[in-house]
Structure 1
Amino acid sequence: MSRKMLFIKLLLLLVHYANQSQAQYLKNCNEDVLLKCPGFPSESSFLSIAWYKVINQDKRGLIRRNKDEVKRYSYNRSIEFGENQGLFLQSVTPEDSGTYECAVHANVGGQNRNDMVNLMVNECLTKAETTTITNVSNTSQATQPCHKQVEGLPIMWSILGYLGVGLGKIILSLICIGVIRVCRSSRRQQQRRW
C-alpha cells in the first residue's frame, strides 16, 4: 500500500511541476514586448493576477489587477497589462532581461497558478554617425584634390632593398671591428713605449 501512495504522490508532483511552465522570449533592444502568462484562465475565473520580477530569488511586485482595480508598484519603468493580462513592456533594454512571474489567484474552487517567463534582451547597438571633415585653405587659387593611386613596389625592388640594408649593416659592423682593432693596437704600442 505504501508503494502505491508513494507512486501517486510522485505522479502528483510531476503534474504540479509540469504545470509550472517557463516561456522564453528573445527580443532586440528598443522593441515592445508582451509577456504572456502561460495557461492563463478565462477572464471570469480569476480573483487577481500579479506580475513580479524575480531578482536573486526575491520577487519584486510590478503590477496587480483585482477584478476592477489595477495597482502599480514602484518600478523604474512604465508597465501595463496587455492582451489576456500579459505584461506589456515598451522599448525594452538589456536591464529588462530576467525572469518574470505571473501569479494567478483563482476564485473559490479554482486552482492558483504561478508561471515563470524568461525575457532576454539583446544589447543595444548604436549607429556611428559619419562625420565629414573639410579642409579650408586661404589660397586664392582653386586646387584640385590629388587622386593618385598608390602602387606597391615590385618584389625585385623589395628584395634588393632588404639586401642593401643587410649589406650596409655588415659593412658597418666590419668597419666598427676594424676601428676597435686599430684602437687596441695603438694602445698596446703606447704601453710598450712607456
Structure 2
Amino acid sequence: MIGRISGSIIAKQAPDLLIDVGGVGYEIQLPMTCFFELPAVGQPATLWTHFVVREDAQLLYGFNQLHERALFRQLIKAQGVGPKMALAIMSGMSASQFVSSVQQGDISTLVKIPGVGKKTAERLVVEMRDRLKDFGQDNPDTGLPGNALGDSPVPAVASPRDDALSALLALGYKPAQAEKAVHKVATPEMDSEAIIRHALKTMV
C-alpha cells in the first residue's frame, strides 16, 4: 500500500498530477477541492494516498489531508460508489459539506453530482449517516505545509477552457453539461483552475 508521497510537482492537468519522488514519476488523481490547493509546478508537495489495484490498471488517488482520504475510503465502501464517483462527489463539495448533506438528508444537493441519482443519494444518506456521525473534520492539516497556491498558473498546451472541459469530463460530467458550465463562467483572463472552480459551483 502506498499511503503517503512527498516529492516535486512535475505537471498538473486537472484532475491528474505528476509528482517526482526520487526520480520516479507518480501519476495521481485528486478531487478538485484538493487539486486547487496544490502548490505550483516545480514546488514540493506531500499527499496522503489511496492505492487501487485492478486487473487492468493500478491507480493512485491523492488528498491534502487525512480526513479527506478517510472520507474517500468511506465513500468507496458504499454500494454502487467507485473511486470515480467518489472523486466527483469530493470535487463538487468539501468533506464537511458532504458530511453535512448526509447528516441532514439533503438529497437535492447530492443528486446534482454527476452519476448520483436519487436512489444513489438516498442510499448514501442511509449507509453513511452512522459512519460519518463522528467524522473527524477537525483533524490538523497534515497535507501541504503552508501552500494554498491553487491560483498559480499551470502551463498547458491546450487552452484553459479546453483544460477545464477535459477535467470536468474526467470527473464524470456529461459533455453537454460540462460545455454549458464552462461557457457560462469562462472569461479570457481566467486560468483552467479558476474555470473549473467556478463551473463546479454552478453545477452543485
Do Structure 1 and Structure 2 share a fold, with TM-score over 0.5? Answer: no
Q: Which has the larger radius of gyration?
A: 1
Give the structure with the higher percent strand. 1
Q: Which interval holds the TM-score relative to the shorter structure?
A: under 0.3
Bigger fraction of residues in helix: 2
Give me the TM-score of the superposition, normalised by structure 2. 0.18
Relative to the length of structure 1, the TM-score reads 0.19
